[in-house]
Structure 1
Amino acid sequence: MPSTPYPAAAAAPTHYENFPVASWLCPPRLRPPIAAIYGFARTADDIADEGEAAADQRLEDLHAFRAELAAAARGAAPSPRWPEVFGPLAQAMRDFALPESLLADLLSAFMQDIEKTRDAAGYADRAELLDYCRRSANPIGRLLLHLYGVDDARALARSDAICSALQLINFWQDLSVDLPRGRYYLPAAELASHGFKFEDFRAFRPLAPPAPPPAAIALVSAQVAWARNLMNEGAPLVHRLPGRAGWELRFVVQGGLRILDKIEVLGFDTWSQRPTIGKADAPLLAWRALRMRRQSPAMTSFPR
């Protein structure tokens, strides 16, 4: 339990999110540290991604952000620059012994994003992209498991599978947004296997009718199958977490699968449109979450 009240409320979610963040399903005592983690990650992501700053300025700011994290881990008072982030985070690190290394991994991934975009570089293969996911997404799951007191190897591996799947789902959902911004998450090996190369997408703009060529559709279909398989590998974790935590995770898993379903309904055409989750999806997500079984955790055969 926290030893003292949190010094400031972490920023509430203000961006579109596929999945719940510190929702009512989360145990009340864990909402402050989860909100602090979210505020840290969201602010760092905004430094890396929002506004008109040049790449070098973004990197400099993230290095300063990393120094603030190190100071928080040492118990030093936050500087005036980001007190609304590092006040709550420092308290959470003290009260819950949050590992600094996992939070630092997130910053490493954000810096890599900036550098890759600056250099118009992509990823060689799935292994390299998964290494990015290991730092950009997996730390969040591990931090949450840490708060819930779950640290066995199987649970961590399943958490990593879910988080990497969520990151991949975001990539395949956002092709029409990322490619025009010079972000190339489709690995070179995957492009080559479908007859493409990075250069084919250097001046990409969202495609208008007619539909993309079959090879482009097959490329997205293969990535969707990869993400779905990863999610299915991790889904049994919902039965490992107690009470509200397990229900929260059910909605996260089903939210990810729902996006994949929507991509499939679009004919795997995220070159021209971006599927999202809305309030209208809530009843279906609740039904799917309720129906998850140990012997069939992911329930991939539900109607689309």
Structure 2
Amino acid sequence: MPVPVDHYENFPVASWLLPKRLRKPVEAIYRFARTADDIADEGDAPAATRLEQLAAYHAELDRIERGETSSHPVFVPLAAAIRDHAIPLAPFRDLLSAFAQDVEKKRYADFGEVMDYCRRSANPVGRLMLHLYGDHDPRHLAYSDAICSSLQLINFLQDIAVDYRKDRIYLPQDELAAHRIGEMQIAQGDTRGLWHMMMHKQIERARKLLQAGAPLGRALKGRIGLELRVTILGGETILRKLHADPGCIFHDRPVLTKKDWGIMLWRGFL
């Protein structure tokens, strides 16, 4: 379950909080997600090439489903993790669907469209982690979805300027229009007019969604509970920074500092 920072760097890869038995499967899942995301985002390849490469990832998942052997360096360890832990394939296909959408879709008409993207780009990560821990409680899955979607929304807010340079805007178009904010304002880093009001609406919605899933941090025991509590605190920390300066995304993108991590870990143990 990601803390809102760059890319998938926050994915708990071999974290000291993870039980040793789960480090290899989490590393395999991370490598799949990171490399697929890079196909969609990195380099100068044309859209058609990116989609072909993502289609090849889909084909590798199909090979795993059929019980066939793969020689692909990403899918050899992933196949072992899927086999050893009976991991469902649907979350991986959802992730690929979201990455392919990033190649083709650059604007989102309303919040419903944004949340549909979050359902496929973020929620699968939390569901995969819960599966590895053997937790299939429907309430816990719903909490996890709320947390992961919130963290994705927070990441969108952190990366408004970064995403715009990639010709992507994840802020709902109808809400930008309601606040009389055009793309030129984002391009110029202009926070005049109703920018702060618009940002505070986005921040509060993300905060409520994060709070809706927060009970999961106490419901889960042991290391996963601690990791999740720290993750939630990370999201709250970024939201506080965004609320204090809604224009910081244009000049001082909010990130988690060493001091923040220390406070979050301390509070996570409480």
The answer, yes or no, to whether TM exceeds 0.5 is yes
Q: Which amino acid aligns with 1:138?
A: N
Structure 1 distance, partners of 2:10, 2:29, is: 17
Q: What is aligned with 1:39?
A: 31
Shift of 1:206: 5.3
Structure 2 distance, partners of 1:18, 1:105, is: 19
What are the residue-to-residue correspondences of 1:36-185 with 2, within 5 Å? 36-79=28-71, 83-117=72-106, 122-185=107-170
Q: What is aligned with 2:191?
A: 212
Q: What is aligned with 2:175?
A: 190
Q: What is aligned with 1:244?
A: 223
CA contact (8 A) 1:259 1:275 kept: yes
- SS state at 2:214 partner: helix
Alignment pair present for 1:280 and 2:268: no
Structure 2 distance, partners of 1:193, 1:205, is: 18
- Give the superposed CA RMSD: 1.9
Aligned residue pairs total 265
Q: Which amino acid aligns with 1:135?
A: R
Shift of 1:16: 7.1
Structure 2 distance, partners of 1:260, 1:115, is: 29
Q: Per-residue CA shift, 1:270-304, capped at 9, x if unaligned?
A: 2443111132322211233234xxxxxxxxxxxxx
CA contact (8 A) 2:185 2:191 kept: no
| Structure 2: stretches of 5+ with no match in the other structure | 1-5
Q: Percent identity?
A: 52
CA contact (8 A) 2:28 2:78 kept: yes
Q: Which amino acid aligns with 1:181?
A: K
| Structure 1: stretches of 5+ with no match in the other structure | 1-13, 292-304
Q: Per-residue CA shift, 1:64-102, capped at 9, x if unaligned?
A: 1110121123222213xxx32101100001001111111
Structure 2 distance, partners of 1:192, 1:290, is: 43
Q: What is aligned with 2:213?
A: 234
In structure 2, relative to structure 1, the CA distance for the partners of 1:267 and 1:203 (3 Å cut) is closer
Structure 2 distance, partners of 1:136, 1:280, is: 29
Q: What is aligned with 1:294?
A: none
Shift of 1:192: 2.2
Shift of 1:242: 2.2
Comparing 155-164 and 15-24, the one that deviates more = 15-24
With structure 1 as the length reference, what TM-score do the two structures score?
A: 0.82
Shift of 1:189: 2.1
Q: Per-residue CA shift, 1:138-192, capped at 9, x if unaligned?
A: 0010111111111111101000000000100000001111112210100022112
Q: When you count helix as a share of all residues, which structure comes out higher?
A: 2
Q: Which amino acid aligns with 1:277?
A: L
In structure 2, relative to structure 1, the CA distance for the partners of 1:257 and 1:126 (3 Å cut) is same
Q: What is aligned with 1:295?
A: none
Shift of 1:48: 0.5
Comparing 238-247 and 129-138, the one that deviates more = 238-247
Q: Per-residue CA shift, 1:109-132, capped at 9, x if unaligned?
A: 000111013xxxx11211111010
- SS state at 1:270 partner: helix
CA contact (8 A) 2:110 2:174 kept: yes
Bigger radius of gyration: 1
- SS state at 1:78 partner: coil
With structure 2 as the length reference, what TM-score do the two structures score?
A: 0.92
- SS state at 1:245 partner: helix
Structure 1 distance, partners of 2:78, 2:132, is: 13
